[in-house]
Amino acid sequence: EADIYQTPRYLVIGTGKKITLECSQTMGHDKMYWYQQDPGMELHLIHYSYGVNSTEKGDLSSESTVSRIRTEHFPLTLESARPSHTSQYLCASCSGATSEAFFGQGTRLTVV
Amino acid sequence: RKEVEQDPGPFNVPEGATVAFNCTYSNSASQSFFWYRQDCRKEPKLLMSVYSSGNEDGRFTAQLNRASQYISLLIRDSKLSDSATYLCVVKRSGNTPLVFGKGTRLSVIA
């Protein structure tokens, strides 16, 4: 089993609130990713990181930000949540040697 | 054109059937190839990596054709538990992200 954890699993918050979705991995992977996925739809890359202090925006325009201060931790922050942010957010980390990616169980976010 | 394109689904097959999925990729610099499986409302999980020589894992066989830039996944003797969405994933070398296809949904019917 992959050692990558996301918290919270489910979150319902009001519009305008600031939230941080947590993602941690204990595999020592340098590469980490955040994806957004609506039910039955494809994965969209929103942010990625290749190591400490490296972050890049993905294909999907996002109002979120990320940080990578420690190898094992890659939190995603929404400064002001909106109903359009309602979705599932999936974090993944990737082995540099094999490029195999492992996903956390996801955070299902609902903004009301 | 999307960088990774997959067969549109859904595929509805009876138990015991053999089913094949194809995936094409547009970037010839792609170096690593994978099939992931995603169950409804769950995270994707690695099914198998795809090697140039082709590889097999039980009922699953993956093949790569670099010249034609496509990857295939063959599932033999389908089980009800194989019902899921299958995602084709490619990656270029270096610090580049994984690129996911939209996925192909498989339903195995009793």
Tens-place pLDDT, residues A19-40: 999 999 999 999 999 999 998 8
Give pLDDT, residue A62. Answer: 73
Beta B11-14 vs B104-109: how paired, if at all? parallel
Q: How far does B68 lie from chain A, in Å, by closest CA?
A: 22
Q: Closest approach of chain A CAs to the CA of B45, in angstroms?
A: 7
Smallest CA–CA distance from A33 into chain B, residue: B97
| CB contact set of A97 (below 8 Å; sequence gap of 6+) | none
Residues of chain A in contact with residue B45, where contact means CB-CB under 8 angstroms, are: 103
Residue A61 clears pLDDT 90, i.e. is over it: no
Model pLDDT, residue A40: 87
Phi first, then psi, for residue B92 (nearest 5°) are -80, 170
Extended strands (E) in chain A: 4-7, 10-13, 19-25, 31-37, 43-51, 54-57, 64-66, 76-78, 87-94, 101-103, 107-111
Q: Which of A74, A103, A75, A107 is nearest to A3 (CA)?
A: A103
Q: Which residue has the higher pLDDT, B93 or B18?
A: B18
Residue-wise pLDDT for B44-66, tens only, equals 999 999 988 889 999 999 999 99
Q: Hey, are the CB atoms on B97 and A45 less than 8 Å from each other? A: yes
Flag whether residue A42 sits within 8 Å of chain B, measured between CB atoms: yes
Using the beta-carbon criterion (under 8 Å), do A39 and B32 form an inter-chain contact?
no
Question: Given pLDDT bands bounded at 50, 70 and 90, which one contains residue A2?
Answer: low
Is A13 near chain B, with CB under 8 Å?
A: no
pLDDT band of residue B95 (cuts 50, 70, 90) is: confident
| Predicted confidence (pLDDT) at residue B68 exceeds the cutoff of 80 | yes
Residue of chain B with shortest Cα separation from A36:
B43
pLDDT for B2 beyond 80: yes
pLDDT at position A1 over 90:
no
Interface list for chain B against chain A, based on CB atoms closer than 8 Å = 31-32, 34, 41-46, 49, 87, 89, 91, 95, 97-98, 100-103
Which residue of chain A comes nearest to B86, CA vs CA? Answer: A42
A18, pLDDT greater than 80: yes
Token reading at A105: 């169980």
Average predicted confidence (pLDDT) for chain A = 93
How far apart are alpha carbons B79 and B17 in whole angstroms?
A: 8
Q: Which helix (H) or strand (E) holds B104?
A: strand B104-109
User: Locate tokens 């039980």: which residue?
Assistant: B58
- Is B3 a residue whose pLDDT tops 70? yes
Closest chain B residue to the Cα of A102, Cα to Cα: B45
Please say if the pLDDT value at position B99 is more than 90: yes
